[in-house]
């Protein structure tokens, strides 16, 4: 896996069996070609609100075309709500689902709540990528002291047995309280494994709490336990 940071794509030529991507350094005329079997074009997404004639009923959008809503996901028109990809926040199906439940419960007279910090994100590549909570950069910018623990899948019995050894788990915890602030994973089945972190963070568990839970062996989840042990006092067992 190779990353070309600070670069931009200036052209793509495709044939029936291959493609050539021309890349140049940012603010430079220097360029080179990357040849591959496939080229995935991922230029981002935008809310699909064009043509809905929202202005005719008084619904307002922001500069990105997203429908503006309040904390109850109600638009500028009382009684009309909006959820999912057309409002602020991550464009994730499970985020939209939670928002739909929130709106239904609110209309029914309840007092629902969504913690958007605990909405997990997943990239369904192989190895998979999953994350929840804060990143190191976000904590640095907020001035929050933190510590980290990492554990590679290549040191895990289940990963070695299944020959899926790429990736790692990283646990970020508060330097003073040990509360788990973020968990980031690259590896096999982490789209499922990330839910352990989501559940524990929902109850504001510490890295030590995570490390003391008995994890079945051999499983991919053991990497979470080991990373938590590394975050607690730099004491993973199998590395």
Catalytic center residues: 217
Sign of CA dihedral 206, 212, 214, 220: positive
Contact by Cβ (8 Å): 159, 220: yes
- Pick the closest to residue 238 from 164, 153, 165 (CA basis): 153
How buried is 92 (Cβ within 10 angstroms: 0-12 exposed, 13-18 middle, 19+ buried)?
middle
Measured in Å, how far apart are the chain's first and last C-alpha atoms? 24
- Pick the closest to residue 126 from 197, 188, 57, 56 (CA basis): 188
DSSP state of 68: P
Structure tokens at 112: 């629902």
83 Cβ contact partners less than 8 Å away, ≥ 6 residues apart: 73, 96, 99, 100, 102, 103
Alpha carbons within 13 angstroms on the beta-carbon side of residue 163 total 0
Query: Strand 146-152 relative to strand 31-36: parallel, antiparallel, unpaired?
Result: unpaired
């Amino acid at each position: 896996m190779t990353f070309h940071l600070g670069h931009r794509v200036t052209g793509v030529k495709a044939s029936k069996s291959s493609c050539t991507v021309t890349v140049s350094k940012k603010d430079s005329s220097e360029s080179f070609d990357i040849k591959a079997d496939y080229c995935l074009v991922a230029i981002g997404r935008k809310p699909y609100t064009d043509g809905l004639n929202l202005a005719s009923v008084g619904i307002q959008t922001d500069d990105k075309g997203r429908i503006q809503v309040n904390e109850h996901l109600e638009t500028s028109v009382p009684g009309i709500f909006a959820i999912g990809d057309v409002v602020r926040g991550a464009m994730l199906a499970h985020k939209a689902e939670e928002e739909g439940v929130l709106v239904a419960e609110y209309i029914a007279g309840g007092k629902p709540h969504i913690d958007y910090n605990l909405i997990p994100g997943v990239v369904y590549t192989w190895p998979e990528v999953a994350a929840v909570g804060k990143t190191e950069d976000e904590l640095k910018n907020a001035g929050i002291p933190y510590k980290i623990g990492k554990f590679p899948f290549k040191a895990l019995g289940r990963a070695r047995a299944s020959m899926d050894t790429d990736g790692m788990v990283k646990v970020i915890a508060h330097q003073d309280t040990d509360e788990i602030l973020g968990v980031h994973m690259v590896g096999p089945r982490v789209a499922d494994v990330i839910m352990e972190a989501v559940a524990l963070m929902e109850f504001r568990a510490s890295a030590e709490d995570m490390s003391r839970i008995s994890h079945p062996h051999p499983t991919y989840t053991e990497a979470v336990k080991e990373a938590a042990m590394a975050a607690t006092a730099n004491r993973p067992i199998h590395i």
